[in-house]
Structure 1
Amino acid sequence: MSVRDLYQSKLQPAADAVRHVRDGDAIIVPTGVGEPPTLLTALSEQRRNWRDVKVLQILAMRKYGYIDRETSEHVRHVALFFGGATRAGGQEGWIDFLPNYFSEIPLQIERGLIGADVVFAMASPMDAHGYFSISLGADYTMAAIAKARAVVLEVNPNVPYAYGNCLVHVSQVTALVESSEPVLEVGLPKIGPVQQAIGGHVAAMIEDGSTLQIGYGGIPDAVVMQLTDKHDLGIHTEMLGDGILSLIESGVVTNRRKNYLPGKTIATFALGSGKLYRYMDRNPALEMHPVQFTNDPALASRNDKLVAINATLQIDLLGHCGSESLAHRPFSGTGGQSDFVRAANRSNGGKAIIVLPSTAKDDSISRIVPVLSPGTHVSTSKNDINYVVTEYGVAQLRGKSARQRAAELIAIAHPNFRAELREQARQLGLG
């Protein structure tokens, strides 16, 4: 049977394709815009037909019908990382949270620690050899495809065919559904004066020839905007976004001076505009790989001058970063922050940079605190912390004593809180 005949034999309406799910199954869905809207809508419409089905995903983008407290005993969302669609349910307790390092999710799937009975994923059109590209989210999805009983792909001509270890053969697929709606686009965040100031400090730390890991948000985009005078930067990251695309188009990113996979932009998922998705299509300068490859500290750190830029919500005077919860209330997840902090620390000339505005709630709360709020999830530990940047400057904590760390962090706190922080440091034996 030809690959085209095999394709036709597996083509089904979405309402039929989702019936490959059984009671008790765990469904793996890719990160972000790699989620298949037609399949998840069909699952939502039929959700009362199942019991105890779990949908596992990092960063759900849309609040589908199945994300519903009233029917969670039928189909329940399990967040590997919270976003706007799932945060409230996680804080209320009817959406589950599975703690993880992003880089280790595939290994946990392979070992059966995380269930992967079914995969629902977006895919590019099939090529002449029978391969689809899972370009928008290779992440943990490739590991799940190798493990799952049923693999259901939503084939969409707007999904780019990217190269790398993100290709799936039609013989591996249980069912195919076709759709043609545009891939969800995520606009650039707003950049204010605080983000601009932090971005300026970070940009000044980035040397020509550095390799960047940079994510989504106002501060990362403020950094990107201030890198136009740099030369021969490289990209080895988890998220590919429009900020990175702007650096490539301007010639700032060439990937020529990377030690590991020179000439290639490397990422594991994409989140951006239609322009970004079109850039990804059959581009030999770009490869999308599973997250156990992109985020492995031993591999990423092969690049000299690896600069990892990640945000936190709160940091204490020892350097513990609470990047994923507001006290005990979940907000996001660990994601790849710990992976890339460790990678940059291992890199020759690398810099692991944690960024945060000095205050929250209109300058009424300091984000630099004597100790983290009770229940806060620690994302980057005091042993891994390197650089911390606020709008007031840069603190380098690695190799510093507890007293020195407290002094460095107080120096970049908001001026309104420095005296109070000094007194609190003294009471903790750090002043």
Structure 2
Amino acid sequence: ITKPLQIAEQDPDAEHFTYNSWHMIGYERKLSDRGLCKFIPMVFRNLPDYYRRFLTVNVAVMGVTPMDEHGYFNMSMSNSHARAVFDVADIIILEVNEKLPFVHGLENTIHISEVDMVIEGEHEGLTEFPSIVAGPVEEQIAESIVDRMTNGACIQLGVGGMPDAIGKLIAESELKDLGIHTELLVNAYLDMHKAGKITNLNKHDIMRGKSVFSIAHGTKELFDWVSDNPSMCCAPINYVNDLSVIGEIDNFVSINSCIAVDLFGQISAESAGTRHISGTGGQLDFLTAGFKNPRAQSFIALPSTYTDKKGNLHSNIKPTFTGGDIITDPRSQAYTMVTEYGIENLAGASVWERAEKLINLAHPDFREELIESAKKVNVWRQSNKR
């Protein structure tokens, strides 16, 4: 949601409407600050089950493509949990949007016989999300990750400047025969496709030849790419993020980002203190996928620092989380961390070894301070005392 939501704006005291979000973005964060939007914690993979098992849906309203000659409407580019909602809804209302592209997929249609009401009318062009221009730090991190990728890799990317930088680097690289299996199809994949890098031929029994995703998010050029393209598969999130599915994909590479990490290897990717920024999404699933196949890799990337509104520099590698930060990935699942200062594998590392590895990834201005903090919480030892 990028535009003002009138059910919230016209009810500023929330007397009539309760607005909840599964994954907050910019506008919803502003609503949350005003007390008009509440976050529901969840692992994205479980969302269809939440609807089928725990939630009551009186009225479901969803945007779809125009009906085809067989009486079916298509969910277009967003199919994470639509079928689950329709399965339990008392009343189903479809809003037909002629601007939405038809997209091939799994469980991504609904027949007119299931529908109670149809809304038709004129629509503006679809909201586009241009590529985010990566800075030098993101480009450094992207280079470190791409250097570790090999031909035939099947790639999952998160959202932001980092994946866009990675997509451009891959497009210019010698890598080939790459695949797509991701919850979010972003502009970075289009860059790879245009460079002839995407074939999906190394996926063997898991949707060989098809790019698998649940949501497409990007420019009109990306929308045109997915439109009526039989090499695309827009599938429910409980399939896309299913570890038993991902684990069967050889040479799977997962690349996500986070907000901060502490010296124990706990990763926060969804809040700044108690202020919610996004959501858990599928990050924990894709991080875990790095352990499911001998050739799989999972990277969590972050710039080593951030600058606050007053111009002060802060480390994104924290001694510990003390401000109510939400832990997205537990330390027990920590794998490969990346900053502009390098790559470190935390898997199998003791608490003091991972503290040392993470301090190596920190900005030099903060390393001594982090060492002192590590001593205070008893996770600092010299390497030669192993």
Could you tell me the TM-score, scaled by structure 2's length? 0.93
Match of 1:235 in 2: 180
Distance 1:191 1:360 in 2: 15
Answer whether contact 2:260 2:269 (CA < 8 A) is retained.
Answer: yes
TM superposition shift of 1:134: 0.4
Answer yes or no: is 1:289 the counterpart of 2:238.
Answer: no
Give the counterpart letter for 1:205 in structure 2: R
Answer yes or no: is 1:320 the counterpart of 2:250.
Answer: no
Distance 2:290 2:312 in 1: 31
Query: Which residues in structure 2 correspond to 1:199-210 (within 5 Å)?
Result: 199-210=142-153
TM superposition shift of 1:251: 1.0
Match of 2:324 in 1: 375
* 2:191 aligned residue (234, 240, 246): 246
- May I ask how many residue pairs the two structures share in their alignment? 371
TM superposition shift of 1:92: 4.1
* 1:414 aligned residue (363, 373, 385): 363
Could you tell me the TM-score, scaled by structure 1's length? 0.83
Match of 2:95 in 1: 154
Answer whether contact 1:67 1:86 (CA < 8 A) is retained.
Answer: no
SS at match of 2:5: coil
Match of 2:45 in 1: 103
Match of 2:384 in 1: none
Distance 2:293 2:33 in 1: 37
TM superposition shift of 1:108: 1.0
Per-residue Cα deviation, 1:113-164 (whole angstroms, up to 9, x for no partner)? 2332222221112111111110221101221011111121121222111111
Query: Which residues in structure 2 correspond to 1:318-397 (within 5 Å)?
Result: 318-361=264-307, 364-397=313-346
Gaps of 5+ in 2: 381-386
SS at match of 2:328: coil
Distance 1:147 1:343 in 2: 31
Give percent identity, aligned residues only.
32
TM superposition shift of 1:91: 3.5
Answer whether contact 1:235 1:266 (CA < 8 A) is retained.
Answer: yes
Distance 1:363 1:221, change over 3 A: farther
Query: Which residues in structure 2 correspond to 1:70-109 (within 5 Å)?
Result: 70-109=12-51
* 1:258 aligned residue (175, 186, 203): 203
Distance 1:344 1:140 in 2: 25
Answer whether contact 2:8 2:36 (CA < 8 A) is retained.
Answer: no
SS at match of 2:248: coil
Answer whether contact 2:56 2:88 (CA < 8 A) is retained.
Answer: no
Aligned alpha-carbon RMSD (Å): 1.4
TM superposition shift of 1:363: 6.4
Distance 1:337 1:194 in 2: 22
SS at match of 2:354: helix
Answer yes or no: is 1:127 the counterpart of 2:68.
Answer: yes
Match of 2:160 in 1: 217
Per-residue Cα deviation, 1:79-138 (whole angstroms, up to 9, x for no partner)? 111111110222343311110000001011110x23322222211121111111102211
Distance 2:264 2:146 in 1: 25
* 1:307 aligned residue (238, 253, 256): 253
Give the counterpart letter for 1:157 in structure 2: E
Answer whether contact 2:166 2:188 (CA < 8 A) is retained.
Answer: no
Distance 1:115 1:240 in 2: 30
Distance 2:31 2:182 in 1: 29
Distance 1:224 1:247 in 2: 6
Answer whether contact 1:66 1:76 (CA < 8 A) is retained.
Answer: no
Per-residue Cα deviation, 1:188-236 (whole angstroms, up to 9, x for no partner)? 1121111111111111122111111112200111111111221111000
SS at match of 2:321: coil
Match of 2:131 in 1: 188
* 1:173 aligned residue (112, 115, 138): 115
TM superposition shift of 1:397: 0.3
Match of 1:17 in 2: none
Give the counterpart letter for 1:150 in structure 2: I
Answer whether contact 2:165 2:188 (CA < 8 A) is retained.
Answer: no
Give the counterpart letter for 1:326 in structure 2: A
